[in-house]
């Protein structure tokens, strides 16, 4: 444990680590672990969707010519394909375009400009609009709020989801709080899934703002890494039971199932919410890309098809997560300088080091040729109050690259920790 070392021992260790670090630096490496992107061999798994799927037949099962305009909420077979991902009925889904993030952005933009179902005015007519942001979280959720001028309130994560005492207190007292970001399964970046109790407490919230919405971004709902996947409760069902059917808006996409940027995204919500969103969305587009919807439906066929496909992803990426976790267990655990979660799915390992070390670790890695997600990115306004969290994204590099990148990461983490301990 580094904490038990004397100053002289720490100085000695610093010398050793610096020498190791310099030898990696001399190799002029260029390794990118900055974003959670699928690797090329994962993208190849879906390539037949582009080459063979349509085969000259462009009609949906109910005879719609998918090459032409129309059908705002998605063709029937695309809805049938996506429904089980969110656990919703046919009138509780809109299959949109290629990006769930865009659907979320558009949903917030419409809420700001026009309001949501049951609201008496657009959100922007309030003096302030605030969102609760469980953190560490997804940087792009926070970036949406920041770009639109929505004030963000950080809520810490506990073992099984956001701190619900804090969420309940804040939403019941402050009418300016209009939403909360949630990544309920294999959360980005913590990797945890919300417990049944957390989901039920969400469904039973009593917000002061009657136009409050839970943004339930289930981006990693089928992205398992083990044979004993996490399971979460269906939030829409729980909201219905609690008499709050319209409080939740759910999102997901096939970005990390088929192609990021070329997948299918959808919104799931109560039928009343969906009707209302449809009525606003009709001015935004005449219809999303139905050819892509058809391709996806023909390629995957059904939920079992998606499940089988995700097994192939798992075979590619689970060994990469193992490399990261083995390295952390071997190199970092004995030093007592950090914590991390062993995720059952998703795309990230969330590393929490000693206070005041995250920026330094990311910089050391960068100087040695390993690009990581910027320190702080996982917090609202890019400000990690402890400067301790780093998101590790293992999927894109090859296993060899990842091994080297993790060697550099571990040396950098040790060096930054020794420096902080010496400065104390």
Ligand X SMILES: Cc1ncc(COP(=O)(O)O)c(C=O)c1O
Interaction site with ligand X (CB under 6 A): 36, 99-101, 138, 183, 188, 217, 219, 253, 255, 260, 265
Nearest residue to 81 via CA among 252, 216, 256: 252
In sequence order, the 6+-apart residues with CB closer than 8 A to the CB of 404 are 24, 29, 31
To ligand X, the closest distance from the beta carbon of 277 in angstroms equals: 17
Helix (H) or strand (E) holding 219: none
To ligand X, the closest distance from the beta carbon of 162 in angstroms equals: 14
Length of the chain: 424
To ligand X, the closest distance from the beta carbon of 165 in angstroms equals: 24
Q: How far is CA 29 from CA 62, 213, 331, in A?
A: 54, 45, 21
Q: Which is nearer to ligand X, 253 or 293 (CB)?
A: 253
Facing residues of 372 across strands?
Answer: 33
Q: How far is CA 198 from CA 66, 84, 135, 189, in A?
A: 41, 21, 16, 18
Q: Which is nearer to ligand X, 10 or 316 (CB)?
A: 316
Q: Which is nearer to ligand X, 96 or 353 (CB)?
A: 96
To ligand X, the closest distance from the beta carbon of 261 in angstroms equals: 7
To ligand X, the closest distance from the beta carbon of 174 in angstroms equals: 25
CB 73 within 8 A of CB 269: no
Widest pairwise Cα distance in the chain:
78
To ligand X, the closest distance from the beta carbon of 359 in angstroms equals: 22
To ligand X, the closest distance from the beta carbon of 252 in angstroms equals: 8
- Residue 114 gets the label, from left (phi > 0), alpha (psi -120 to 50) or beta, of alpha
Angle subtended at Cα 324 by Cα 323 and Cα 329, rounded to the nearest 5 degrees: 100
Cβ neighbour number for residue 114 with a 10 Å cutoff = 16
To ligand X, the closest distance from the beta carbon of 333 in angstroms equals: 27
What are phi and psi for residue 233, nearest 5 degrees? -70, 155
CB 368 within 8 A of CB 408: yes
Helix (H) or strand (E) holding 329: none
Q: Which is nearer to ligand X, 232 or 411 (CB)?
A: 232
Q: Which is nearer to ligand X, 100 or 244 (CB)?
A: 100
Q: Which is nearer to ligand X, 258 or 357 (CB)?
A: 258
To ligand X, the closest distance from the beta carbon of 216 in angstroms equals: 11
CB 193 within 8 A of CB 159: no
Q: Which is nearer to ligand X, 123 or 348 (CB)?
A: 348
Q: Which is nearer to ligand X, 340 or 396 (CB)?
A: 396
Terminal Cα-to-Cα distance of the chain (whole angstroms): 16
- Torsion (CA) 140, 143, 148, 151 in degrees, nearest 10: 120
Q: Which is nearer to ligand X, 115 or 191 (CB)?
A: 191
């Amino acid at each position: 444990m580094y904490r038990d070392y004397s100053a002289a021992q720490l100085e000695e260790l610093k010398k050793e680590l610096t020498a190791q670090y310099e030898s990696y630096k001399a190799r002029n490496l260029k390794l990118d672990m900055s974003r959670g992107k699928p690797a090329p061999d994962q993208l190849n798994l879906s390539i037949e969707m582009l080459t063979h799927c349509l085969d000259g037949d462009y009609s949906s099962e109910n005879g719609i010519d998918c090459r032409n305009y129309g059908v705002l909420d998605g063709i029937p077979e695309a809805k049938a394909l996506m429904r089980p991902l969110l656990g919703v009925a046919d009138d509780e889904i809109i299959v949109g375009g290629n990006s769930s993030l865009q659907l979320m952005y558009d949903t917030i933009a419409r809420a700001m400009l026009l309001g949501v179902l049951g609201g008496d005015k657009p959100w922007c007519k309030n003096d302030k609009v605030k969102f609760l942001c469980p953190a560490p979280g997804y940087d792009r959720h926070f970036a949406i709020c920041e770009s639109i001028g929505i004030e963000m309130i950080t809520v810490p994560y506990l073992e099984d989801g956001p701190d619900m005492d804090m969420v309940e207190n804040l939403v019941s007292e402050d009418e300016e709080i209009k939403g909360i970001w949630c990544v309920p399964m294999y959360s980005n970046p913590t990797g945890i899934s919300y417990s049944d109790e957390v989901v039920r407490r969400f469904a039973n919230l009593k917000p002061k703002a009657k136009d409050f919405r839970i943004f339930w971004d289930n981006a990693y709902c089928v992205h398992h890494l083990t044979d004993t996947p996490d399971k979460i409760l269906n939030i829409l069902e729980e909201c219905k039971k609690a008499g709050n059917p319209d409080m939740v808006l759910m999102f997901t996409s096939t970005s990390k199932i088929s192609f990021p940027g070329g997948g299918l995204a959808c919104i799931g919500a109560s039928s009343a919410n969906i009707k209302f969103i449809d009525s606003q969305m009709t001015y935004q587009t005449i219809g999303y890309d139905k050819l892509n919807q058809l391709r996806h439906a023909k390629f995957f066929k059904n939920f079992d098809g998606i499940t089988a496909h995700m097994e192939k992803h798992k075979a590619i990426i689970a060994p990469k997560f193992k490399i990261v976790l083995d390295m952390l267990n071997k190199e970092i655990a004995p030093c007592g300088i950090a914590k991390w979660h062993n995720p059952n799915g998703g795309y990230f390992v969330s590393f929490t080091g000693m206070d005041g070390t995250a920026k330094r670790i990311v910089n050391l890695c960068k100087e040695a040729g390993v690009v990581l997600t910027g320190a702080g990115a996982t917090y609202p306004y890019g400000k990690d109050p402890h400067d301790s969290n780093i998101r590790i994204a293992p999927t894109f590099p090859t296993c060899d690259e990842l091994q080297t990148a993790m060697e550099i990461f571990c040396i950098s983490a040790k060096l930054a920790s020794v420096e902080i301990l010496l400065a104390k």
